[in-house]
Amino acid sequence: MKEIKPEIAEKVRQLEEKFKNSGQDLGSYLDGLLYDKYLTYWDYISLDTLLSLQNTRTHFPDEKIFIGYHQITELYFNLIIHEQEQIVEAEDISVAFFTEKVNRVVRYFRILTHSFDVMIKGMDKEQFLKFRMALLPASGFQSGQFRMIEIFSTPLENLVHMDVRKDFSGDHSVEELYENIYWKRGATDLASGEKTLTLKQFEEEYTPRFLRLANRVKDRTLYEKYQQLSSEDKNNKNLVEALRTLDVTVNVNWLLMHIGAAHRYLMSKKGAVAATGGTNWKDFLPPSFQRISFFPELWSEEEMKEWGKEWVDETFNKKMNIH
């Protein structure tokens, strides 16, 4: 019988100690290893299940691109929330840890932003304008995970609509602040004040979850975690740069890529075509109209006045030929 290597025997001893301390029998687990099949890549990532989820509603081929990209986006949003939760739950957070997690979030958003060409240039316009009608009243506006990313990032008073933001502060209740959150106007008829079905569905599905999350992270958002640092740590160049980059990546670049897609598919010689959920995309998406910032104290008054404008002038209009 082949002699067991000392390093293997030591690992078995350590495993036996581990399971003994938890009241478990190592022998039973070793039996499981003997009977278990080798893990495969496709089983590990549940590939067959993953590829079965692109359930299109029409026969237009490019709808598969549309649904696939949105599913990919939600997977990345889930990773972003995973990083944010670690910041929120951390005690005595270090600058290095904070910076690394924020940079990860930025990286995920940059991947999504750079890949948005799939949505802007990767679908046939005529197919899109037809299959979109089968999706009513569903809309990307209804991404609950993106709203959770916002709630993790900053106090609700920073997400109140710009027109009334000066009237609200952290002294108001979570419920009051939530009622005046900026994105609700994006799916409300501006003339009548009537909520669209898209917004009604969204609120019914997510409002309790959003309020629970807002109460859970009160005084613990990324913004507040930053504010609670020492003066020296708050002035850390790498952290400040990471937080400012996150702000621009989410609240400027990500929104403007959506405007690019909207212009590509929803603008015609006769004017703007209504979005599938009835959202006011021309008034809702431009960052200069909302001026949402997760970390407002990291920006000068002049920078906030010009929020998003430089990107539009230098990048958006010139590169995408949108006028």
* Alpha helices in the chain, H assignment, sequence order: 6-21, 26-35, 41-44, 47-51, 63-89, 95-114, 117-121, 125-131, 144-153, 174-179, 197-216, 222-227, 231-234, 237-248, 254-266, 281-284, 287-290, 301-305, 309-311, 317-320
Of 263, 275, 286, 127, which is closest to residue 197 (Cα–Cα)?
275
In tens digits, the chain (323 residues) has pLDDT values of 678 899 989 998 998 999 888 888 888 888 888 888 889 999 999 999 999 999 999 999 999 999 999 999 999 999 999 999 999 999 999 999 999 999 999 999 999 999 999 999 999 999 999 999 999 888 889 999 999 999 999 999 999 999 999 999 989 999 999 999 999 988 887 678 899 999 999 999 999 999 999 999 999 999 999 999 999 999 999 999 999 999 999 999 999 988 888 777 776 655 556 555 566 666 677 787 889 999 999 999 999 989 988 655 544 455 445 43
Q: CA 247 to CA 290: how far, in whole Å? A: 13
Tell me if the pTM is above 0.95: no
What separation in angstroms does the CA of 264 have from each of 39, 67, 182, 255?
45, 18, 25, 14
